[in-house]
Amino acid sequence: MASDPIPVALAAPVVLSPPSTSPLPAPGKPWALPRAGLAVFYGRPETPRLFHYFLPRLLAEGKRVLCLDGANRFDPLLIARLARQRGIAAAEFNRGIRVARAFTCFQLTELLVRVPRFVEKFAADALIVTALPDLYFDEDVRDREAGVAFRHALDALRALAPLPLGVAVFSGGASLEAPLETSLETSRSGLSRPRPGDPGPRRAMFTQLAAQATELWRFALDGEDGKLRLIGEKNCSPGLQTRGFSAANRQIPRL
């Protein structure tokens, strides 16, 4: 059974500075999580680990982050290193994070359903989710059961829209998908074509997640220097038509 979020272990007592009153970064800004809506990050197998890069800005501003870690990639030592790089005590960063781990798709769905209750006790400004839909590709779970759990997970994400909470999903599951443009069209038409190596009916899960997102970002390796770049592929607001844009010149250092 999924557990409640727990504080990251503190290295030592620390006096916190007053929380910042500045808003979260505006949607559509690279390297910043959205202040509202659902942002999906994908493109590389290591994507579920790259969420760490987005934490320093939030935590340095006094924001609180709730992390549902289905990939089991949360790294306190990396958090400590990122804090030191900013000249901030690691304990101060840790006080702003709560982590709940999920080891099955059913546990991750349960955690997503319980987010409104979590934020009543821990007033998070941002929610980070890893391994969605990756956990739902488990071969030990039947297609129908995985599909039902995934639909409940999408419903739970949709139910978070009224909350003052920016949601970011870091997914490695797109590696099992067709090219995204083709997959999105397939999802809209309701048609699908079997492909060798696809996880059966689950191959459309990432496409459905991307269709629900208000922002879509893809990590890609630069062919010249081998560094990761972040490319914006979708940015929309309720009632507005989706527009494409590029942030190909923004780089992220290796973690």
Tell me the per-residue pLDDT of 199-255, one tens digit each, with 9 for 90 and over: 566 889 999 999 999 999 999 888 777 788 888 888 875 433 333 334 444 445 444
Domain tally, the chain: 1
Residue 87: pLDDT band (50, 70, 90) is: confident
Q: Can you tell me the distance from the alpha carbon of 178 to that of 87, in angstroms, rounded to the nearest whole number?
A: 43
Boundaries of domain holding 147: 34-190+199-252
Residue with tokens 């039947």: 142
Q: Can you tell me the distance from the alpha carbon of 119 to that of 64, in angstroms, rounded to the nearest whole number?
A: 10
CB–CB of 234/213 below 8 Å?
Answer: yes
Residue 165: pLDDT band (50, 70, 90) is: very high
Does 113 fall in a domain?
Answer: yes
The pTM of this model reads 0.75
Does 92 fall in a domain?
Answer: yes
Positive or negative, the CA dihedral 93, 98, 103, 104 is negative
Give the CATH number of the domain where residue 115 resides.
3.40.50.300
Does 20 fall in a domain?
Answer: no
Helices 205-212 and 180-189 sit at what angle, rounded to 10 degrees?
90
Number of Cβ atoms within 10 Å of the Cβ of 203: 21
Helices 143-159 and 105-113 sit at what angle, rounded to 10 degrees?
20
Does 1 fall in a domain?
Answer: no
Does 18 fall in a domain?
Answer: no
Does 247 fall in a domain?
Answer: yes
Q: Can you tell me the distance from the alpha carbon of 238 to that of 46, in angstroms, rounded to the nearest whole number?
A: 30
Does 27 fall in a domain?
Answer: no
Does 29 fall in a domain?
Answer: no
Strand 215-221 and strand 228-235: the pairing is: antiparallel
> Looking at residue 28, what DSSP letter applies?
T
